[in-house]
Amino acid sequence: MIYPAGWFLISLLTLSNVADPEVGHIQWQFSSLQQSSTEWELAFTAKIDRGWHLYSQSIEEGGPMPTSFEFDEGDGFELLGNVTEAGEAKQVFDSIFVMNVVWYETEVVFTQRVKAKSDVSVSGKVSYSVCSEERCIPGSTRFAISLKKK
C-alpha cells in the first residue's frame, strides 16, 4: 500500500518528467552589417547541437513547424524583401508527416535586408522547432538589433 507521502513522491517524479525545463539545443546570435548609408543586412545565426535539427522556413502545410520570423512594427525602418536562409540544407522524407522536409543540422544563417534613414532598433521574434530522432521542442526567441549609422 502506498501512503499519502508516497503519492506525493510519485506525483513529483511524474511532474518532473512532464514539465521538462529543457529549452535548448539551439543557440541564436543576432547581428547587423551596414551595406550602404541606408541599408543593413540583419543576420540571425542558429547554432544547432549535435544530434538535433532545425526546420527550414519552407515547409509545406501539414508538416512540422517551420522556422518563422515576426518583426515588431516600428517607425524608422523598412523591411526589404523576405528573410532568406543559407546553410547546408538536408532534404529528407519524414515518415511521421509523410512528406519531404528541409532541415539544418549544425548551423544556418537567416538574413533580412532593412532600410533605415536614422539610428533605430529592429525587434521581433523567431519561432521554430528543434528536433532529434526522439522528440521535438518548439521554441521562440525575441531579438532586438540596433542599427547605427557609421
Over residues 37-55, the pLDDT tens digits come to 999 999 999 999 999 999 9
CB-CB contact of 134 with 18 (8 Å): no
Give the pLDDT score at 25: 93
Q: Which domains does the chain have, with CATH numbers?
A: 25-147 (2.60.40.1250)
Give the pLDDT score at 134: 87
At 73-128, the pLDDT tens digits run 988 899 999 999 999 999 999 888 899 999 999 999 999 999 998 899 999 999 99
Give the pLDDT score at 2: 45
Phi first, then psi: give them for residue 61, nearest 5 degrees: -60, 140
Distances (CA, A) of 144 to 30, 70, 108, 135: 8, 12, 19, 29
Average pLDDT, the chain: 85
